[in-house]
């Protein structure tokens, strides 16, 4: 997961430089901001996150007619 930080050059009230940080989608070649976490491996400190376009679309299970 790519982590992008943009330094604005502006100062916050406490005197530190303001920074904007976002995670990018892990789908190859996608420049969108990640909004959904797919999963993580704690031991390796790894996680996978994707944007709305690449998030899995779940469908409700179909019910059997019991007539």
pTM of the model: 0.62
Q: Is residue 45 part of a domain?
A: yes
The CA distance from 59 to 67, in Å, is 24
Domain that holds residue 7: 3-50
Q: What is the pLDDT of residues 10-61, one digit of tens each?
A: 998 999 999 988 889 999 999 999 999 989 889 998 889 999 999 988 877 7
Q: Is residue 14 part of a domain?
A: yes
Please answer whether residues 30 and 53 qualify as being in contact, where contact means their C-beta atoms are separated by less than 8 angstroms.
yes
The CA distance from 6 to 32, in Å, is 15
- The number of folded domains in the chain is 1
């Amino acid at each position: 997961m790519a982590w992008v930080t943009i330094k604005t050059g502006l100062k916050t009230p406490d005197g530190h430089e303001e920074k904007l940080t976002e995670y990018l989608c892990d789908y190859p070649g996608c420049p969108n901001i990640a909004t959904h976490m797919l999963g993580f491996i704690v031991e390796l400190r790894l996680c996978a996150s994707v944007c709305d376009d690449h998030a899995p679309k779940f469908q409700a299970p179909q019910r059997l007619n019991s007539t």
